[in-house]
Amino acid sequence: MPTIPWFKRVAQSLGARLWILLYGGFFLLGVPACAPKPPIAIGFIGGLSGKFSDLGTATRNGALLAIEKANDSGGVAGRKLVLLEQDDKQNSETALLAMEEFNKQGVVAVVGPSTSSIAVAVTPVANQNHLLLVAPTATTNKLSGKDDYFMRSVGDAAFYGRAAAQRHFTQQAVRSVALVLDMANADYTESWGEPYAAEFKRLGGVVTLVDRFTSTANPDHIAIAKKLLASAPQMVVTVASSVDSAMIAQRVRSLKPSIRLAGAGWASTERLIELGGAAVEGMLFEQYFDRFDPSVKFQGFLAAYRKRFKAEPGFGAVLAFDATNMIIGGLEKTDQREGLKAAVLGIGTFEGAQNPIALDAFGDVTRDVYFGVVKNGAFAKLQ
């Protein structure tokens, strides 16, 4: 056997040791297969500033709570979730720019928007980009029954409008109403107000007036109140945000303290009572969740929300928590944007913070309706 020269033996030995050192270094530093997996980005869009910010903030908080709870449990397939926020300022152009930004950021889905008019504006862009929107509180009928990339965790406005009309006529013995609708979110207010009026008339009631205003155009609330009362209704029904519902209630009650009042679900946030004070006492609402649910599941949600945000969760927080968990459920089937819509629809039924959420083939939902009243400066259950 030929002898290997000493310098070749040294070179071979050093080469082997160098290879071992390099391999060990790569192992310690972590090769790509062992590196942490990148997070999954979910977008949030809603009105985080301006007149409708109580709803936008609540929906953002509900989405954030769902993501934090998922991350506490390990995320999705070992990947953490992050929420990327965009404030649409209740402006369609701003919302469209936000959707462009989401596309650049590579989000897999979006929670939101929080109002119907913004949802109508951005859904075509979501369709073009195959980007799933799951809206917590956008109830417009314009997006019902469509095979698109818009879904929601709440029923549509027509259902709630008709339910409110039935409640007012049959159980509150109201026989005449005047309605006022905010055109700043017309895709919601018309979707709620028109079915309400039609159902109230079908039952035998009289709609004395349907008035309209635009909350973003500095409306004269006193003039609105005078016009409503001039039609001599038993009840004034305001289909607007908490801010404008409170202001109209104050003006109406200053002119006629005994007038009965009702609002749509959109206004039933703590801000209404804060701004309206005594003027909103006795005001009726249809609501999307049972504030007084004693179940262990819902009480657990309440405790977690209160601890995290030092506030009460309104309907926006509950519905956004559910909407985000629908997306998370789909991500457990696929962590890619493509295919996520089919994954969510394929699951079909999700556990909500309070009740199960059942999707139809178009991503529309039917939820139970609850009725509440402002009593002694707080929301109370209407029996």
pLDDT in tens, 91-123: 999 999 999 999 999 999 999 999 999 999 999
First to last CA, the chain: 101
Cα–Cα distance between 219 and 178 in angstroms, integer?
18
Bridge pairing between strands 370-375 and 284-287: antiparallel
Tell me the pLDDT of the chain (383 aa) as tens digits.
Answer: 344 443 334 344 444 444 334 334 433 444 445 577 899 999 999 999 998 999 999 999 999 999 999 999 999 999 999 999 999 999 999 999 999 999 999 999 999 999 999 999 999 999 999 999 999 999 999 999 999 999 999 999 999 999 999 999 999 999 999 999 999 999 999 999 999 999 999 999 999 999 999 999 999 999 999 999 999 999 999 999 999 999 999 999 999 999 999 999 999 999 999 999 999 999 999 999 999 999 999 999 999 999 999 999 999 999 999 999 999 999 999 999 999 999 999 999 999 999 999 999 999 998 899 999 999 999 999 97
Q: How many CB atoms lie within 10 A of CB 54?
A: 22
Cα–Cα distance between 98 and 103 in angstroms, integer?
9
CATH class of 40-154+293-367: alpha beta
The two tokens of residue 327 are 């997306």
pLDDT of residue 37: 87
Q: Residues 109, 132: contact at Cβ < 8 Å?
A: yes
264: CB partners within 8 A, 6+ apart: 160, 161, 164, 189, 192, 193, 237, 238, 239, 240, 285, 286
Of 114, 172, 171, whose CA–CA distance to 288 is shortest? 114
Please give the CATH number for the structural domain made up of 158-287. 3.40.50.2300
H-type helices in the chain, by residue range?
A: 6-29, 53-72, 92-105, 116-129, 157-170, 186-202, 221-230, 242-255, 270-276, 296-309, 315-331, 340-347
pLDDT of residue 34: 58
CB-based burial of residue 215 (10 Å sphere; 0-12 exposed, 13-18 middle, 19+ buried)? buried
pLDDT of residue 273: 97
Bridge pairing between strands 356-358 and 349-351: antiparallel
Helix axis angle for 92-105 and 116-129, nearest 10°, is 30
Domain ranges of the chain: 40-154+293-367, 158-287
- The DSSP bridge partners found for residue 351 are 356
Cα–Cα distance between 121 and 98 in angstroms, integer?
12
Buried b (16+ CB within 10 A) or exposed e, 10-49: eeeeeeeeeeeeeeeeeeeeeeeeeeeeeebebbbbbbbe
Bridge pairing between strands 40-46 and 81-87: parallel
Domains 40-154+293-367 and 158-287 share a fold: yes
Cis peptide before 113 (omega within 30 of 0): yes
Give the helix, strand, coil percentages of the chain, each rounded to 5.
50, 20, 30
The SS3 of residue 110 is strand
pLDDT one-digit tens code per residue, 194-226: 999 999 999 999 999 999 999 999 999 999 999
pLDDT of residue 7: 34
The SS3 of residue 304 is helix
pLDDT of residue 12: 46
Q: What is the maximum span of the chain, computed from C-alpha positions, in angstroms?
A: 117
